[in-house]
Amino acid sequence: MTSSRISGFYNLSMDDRRAKIVDASHLSSEDLLPFTDGGLTPEAADHMIENVIGAYSLPVGIGINFQVNGRDVLVPFAIEEPSVVAGASFMAKLVRAGGGFQSTSSEPHMIGQMQVLDLDSIHAARLKIYEYKAALLAEADEIDPILKKLGGGARDLEVRIIEDSPIGAFLAVHLIYDVRDAMGANAVNTACERLASRIEDITGGRVHLRILSNLADRRLARARCSIPVEELAFTVGAGQSAQNEDAPAPGDHGGRTYTGQEVRDGVIEAWAFAASDPYRAATHNKGIMNGVDAVVIATGNDWRAIEAGAHAYAARSGRYTSLSTWGKDKDGNLVGTLEMPMAVGIVGGATRVHPAAQAAVKLMGVKTASELAEIIVSVGLAQNLAALRALSTEGIQRGHMSLHARQVAIAAGAEGDLIEKVAARLVEEKTVRIDRAEEILKNIKQ
């Protein structure tokens, strides 16, 4: 059984952190090797895309404290932005005090689209397609025998009239396909390509595009959390920042105390801004995607597809809005929800060929794509809370700057204890720049 509560994780050396992960999980130190060397050999990279000249690394950090549907999970984040892993881990700890994340997902149904043009009567063509629906579904169902054996296959067919187009009205046929544990793009695109000529025969029209839709609104993941209001209270600088329990800001001399009620109401007010204004909603949702994308990338999934789906879903009412909601229950606890498309897989694609992605999936102990989706959406909700909590209290710069200052100190050549010393001076001086870090380091060394 994995335990995701690892105290003092932040302050350990990288080797000690790896040892803790081995202790806390079912992984061996060999299992973690892909994270130490990036995982991808040049040869493997050369088989993934074209014109390869090498590989590109990102830091992988472990999100701790996460409990999803009663199960502890250590979550790998691949991301370049400071504060994300720390913020999500800290919020996961607060959520844990309220019973952890409750998460569900719909069936893994993807949508494939076929654009049918040059029709005499779009209305008649639409109904003709429905007349052949059973035969079309049966044909689509046979296309991927392996997927079928695993319980996937064609599920439904819908025909939409697209009235409002620059080239006049046409039909969009939607094929709903159960892709099980795959991301599903290949299966769906193949099925659409195969059905196209049948649809042309039935309608007398011309099938133009045949491609999946990234607005995967039949493949949703949802997470809910409830945080006891007293857990939200904190004092600025009292061994924690709003984003990071483990990383007191260097040079911090303490500050204002926030009650749990103040933090809760501040989060709800911040959410209300995003719920009603697209300018704020874009940034609010970006914060959610900070967490979501980091896990999507760590598991070798297509983060552009997830991004496209998320933002299209956020605009589904015709007005772009927040993907999450925040409110309070009758006991005054803070309650958050997040629902969004989550087209991720654990078989095929980069997830299968990238050793670090395999290690990431193994670390989380997920056996199905749905389980992975449920963890990712929980991480998105945690990350959203980290941002709203910080923004509605001390602002994000303080926590951000303290983490950033450490990175700048390291970049300036500081090692060991000197990292903290240089970072603390940078924060004190409110000048987090590499030239200043180099000067400070030189002075300390002298």
Positions marked active-site:
81, 286, 302, 400
Mask: binding to ligand MEV, 340-379, rule CB under 6 A, as x and -? ----------------------------------------
Asked if 198 is part of the footprint of ligand MEV (rule: CB under 6 A), the reply reads: no
CB 76, CB 363: distance < 8 Å: yes
d(Cα 421, Cα 409) in Å, to the nearest integer?
9
Mask: binding to ligand MEV, 48-87, rule CB under 6 A, as x and -? ---------------------------------x------
Enumerate residues 266-285 that contact ligand MEV by CB under 6 A.
283-284
In the complex, the smallest distance separating the C-beta of residue 247 from ligand MEV, rounded to whole angstroms, is 16
d(Cα 343, Cα 214) in Å, to the nearest integer?
8
Residues in the chain: 446
Asked if 297 is part of the footprint of ligand MEV (rule: CB under 6 A), the reply reads: no
In the complex, the smallest distance separating the C-beta of residue 91 from ligand MEV, rounded to whole angstroms, is 13
For ligand MEV, the closer CB: 287 or 355: 287
Asked if 387 is part of the footprint of ligand MEV (rule: CB under 6 A), the reply reads: yes
d(Cα 169, Cα 44) in Å, to the nearest integer?
46
Asked if 286 is part of the footprint of ligand MEV (rule: CB under 6 A), the reply reads: yes
Asked if 396 is part of the footprint of ligand MEV (rule: CB under 6 A), the reply reads: yes
Asked if 310 is part of the footprint of ligand MEV (rule: CB under 6 A), the reply reads: no
d(Cα 100, Cα 374) in Å, to the nearest integer?
12
d(Cα 212, Cα 310) in Å, to the nearest integer?
15
| Structure-token pair, residue 228 | 């006891």
In the complex, the smallest distance separating the C-beta of residue 394 from ligand MEV, rounded to whole angstroms, is 13
How many residues sit close enough to ligand MEV to count as binding (CB under 6 A)? 9
d(Cα 98, Cα 412) in Å, to the nearest integer?
42
Given the structure tokens 């029709």, which residue do they identify?
A: 119
Q: Is 150 exposed, middle or buried (0-12, 13-18, 19+ CB in 10 A)?
A: middle
Asked if 290 is part of the footprint of ligand MEV (rule: CB under 6 A), the reply reads: yes
The dihedral built from the CA positions of residue 58, 64, 66 and 70, taken in this order, carries a sign that is positive
Indicate which single residue of 250, 287, 345, 380 sits in contact with ligand MEV (rule: CB under 6 A).
287
Other C-beta atoms closer than 10 Å to the C-beta of 133 total: 13
Residues forming the site for ligand MEV (CB under 6 A): 81, 283-284, 286-287, 290, 387, 391, 396
